[in-house]
Amino acid sequence: MPGQEPLYERIYRMVSLIPRGKVATYGQIADLVGGCTARMVGYAMAALKSGSHPAVPWQRVINAQGRVSIHGDGFGNALQRSILESEGVVFDARGRVDFMHFGWPGPDEPY
């Protein structure tokens, strides 16, 4: 649609709503934003490495298994987990987050 906000910007705006100490899945963000897939959300998060949107808390988006997805360089996933742990997110012995405790239910207001 003409004048519609670009997809990545819509994704970034949604991810920016995830509060400290909570996580969302790639698929959840895709569903909330609409018109995209979990993979597209992953691509948008990967594009943040350029530093173009420093306020977007990319670390708060994890996979549907409750794990940090492996990043291409191998260091990003350790960094992501470390940042999440510093925000109070707890991982179990299998490296998973309990969505019942740390999952973000979505925005308070309609998106």
Which CATH number is correct for 7-94, 1.10.10.10, 3.40.190.10, 1.10.8.10, 2.40.40.20? 1.10.10.10
pLDDT tens for residues 59-102? 999 999 999 988 766 667 888 999 999 999 999 999 999 999 99
pLDDT tens for residues 26-65? 999 999 999 999 999 999 998 886 667 788 999 999 999 9
Are 38 and 25 in contact by the 8 Å Cβ rule? The answer is yes
Report the alpha-carbon distance of residue 103 to residue 29 in Å, rounded.
12
Report the alpha-carbon distance of residue 10 to residue 4 in Å, rounded.
9
Model pTM greater than 0.85? yes
